[in-house]
Copies of this chain bind each other. A is one copy, B any other.
Amino acid sequence: MAWNVYLAGEIHSDWREQIAAGAEKAGLDVSFSSPVTDHGASDDVGVAILGDEADSFWKDHKGAGVNAIRTQTLIRDSDVVVVRFGDKYRQWNAAFDAGFAAALGKPVVTLHDGEFDHALKEVDRAAFATARTAEQVVDVLRYVIEGRLPG
The interface of chain A, by Cβ under 8 A from chain B, is 1, 3-4, 31, 33, 36-38, 41, 44-46, 48-51, 53-58, 60-73, 76-77, 79-80, 85, 89-105, 107, 109, 114, 116-132, 136, 139-140, 143-145, 147-150
Contacts and interface: CB of A to CB of B under 8 A. Distances in A.
23 contacts: A41-B143, A41-B149, A44-B149, A49-B143, A50-B129, A54-B54, A63-B121, A66-B143, A67-B144, A68-B125, A68-B128, A72-B107, A73-B107, A90-B90, A90-B116, A92-B92, A92-B95, A93-B95, A96-B98, A99-B103, A100-B100, A100-B102, A100-B103
B69 A144 contact: yes
Contacts of A67: 122, 144
B149 A60 contact: no
Copies assembled: 8
A150 B96 contact: no
A58 B55 contact: yes
A62 B92 contact: no
A125 to B, nearest CB: 4
